[in-house]
């Protein structure tokens, strides 16, 4: 099932017209028609996210990465994480400042996760173009790589920068937040 098929299936299942979806997603009815009928297949990641939001599904569902249309589990995970931060910070007798830092950390984590997803969406939309560009070179190799190997290589290269940035940021998260409020004399 293509991205367009998934958009159409979900739109029809919730009784939404192409015009209504176009208005909600801030695009034209013609674009929705072209997406659904495979005329436009290289849909920008921000448009995928907006359409998914309007249809009440995850971008991963529209991209075909999951068969689960329900996004309530994402909301549940976020709520669970926030509750966990509050309970953990109360249990550790964290200062209000620390709890606020944890919340800001989580907001930043979500933003970085969103950037990673956007990069993955871009990579999935541009992988065919990459395969075409290396087809001749790959065929000339003594041991050509399979299409799956080429795709894996491409995805690793595309996602590595975002993953490295996310890993570095997570590793740099301060574990002793209370020190930031101590006076210089007590450090």
**pLDDT by residue (tens digit) across 147-160?**
889 988 888 888 88
* Pair 61, 2: CB distance under 8 Å: no
Task: Tell me which residue of 74, 72, 64, 66 sits closest to 41, measured CA to CA.
Answer: 64
DSSP-H helix ranges across 39-95:
45-55, 59-63, 72-91
Highest mean pLDDT among 59-68, 105-114, 167-176 belongs to 59-68
Distance (Å, whole) CA 55 – CA 25:
9
Tokens of 129: 């173009």
CA distance 176 to 97: 12
Q: Give the pTM.
A: 0.43
pLDDT of residue 32: 96
Q: What is the CATH number of domain 3-63?
A: 1.10.260.40
CB distance 102 to 41 below 8 Å:
no
97 has a pLDDT exceeding 50: yes
Three-class SS of residue 65?
Answer: coil
**Is-contact 14 56, C-beta < 8 A?**
yes
Q: Per-residue pLDDT tens for 12-55?
A: 988 889 999 999 888 999 999 999 999 998 888 888 888 988 88
Check residue 90 and give its pLDDT.
Answer: 61
Quote the CA–CA distance of 7 and 27 in Å, as a whole number.
14
Domain boundaries, the chain: 3-63, 73-176
């Amino acid at each position: 099932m293509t991205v367009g098929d998934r958009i159409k299936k979900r739109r029809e299942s919730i009784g939404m017209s192409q015009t209504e979806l176009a208005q909600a997603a801030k695009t034209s009815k013609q674009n929705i028609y072209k997406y659904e009928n495979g005329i436009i297949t290289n849909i920008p990641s921000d448009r995928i996210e907006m359409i998914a939001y309007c249809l009440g599904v995850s971008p991963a569902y529209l991209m075909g990465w999951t068969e689960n249309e329900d996004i309530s589990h994402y909301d549940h995970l976020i709520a669970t994480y926030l509750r966990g931060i509050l309970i953990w910070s109360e249990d550790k007798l964290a200062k209000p400042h620390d709890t606020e830092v944890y919340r800001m950390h989580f907001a930043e984590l979500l933003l970085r996760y969103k950037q990673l997803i956007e990069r993955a969406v871009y990579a999935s939309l541009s992988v065919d173009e990459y395969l075409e560009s290396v087809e001749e070179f790959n065929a000339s190799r003594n041991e050509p790589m399979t299409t799956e190997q080429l795709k894996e290589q491409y995805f690793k290269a595309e996602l590595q920068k975002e993953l490295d940035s996310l890993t570095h940021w997570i590793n740099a998260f301060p574990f002793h937040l209370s020190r930031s409020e101590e006076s210089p004399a007590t450090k």
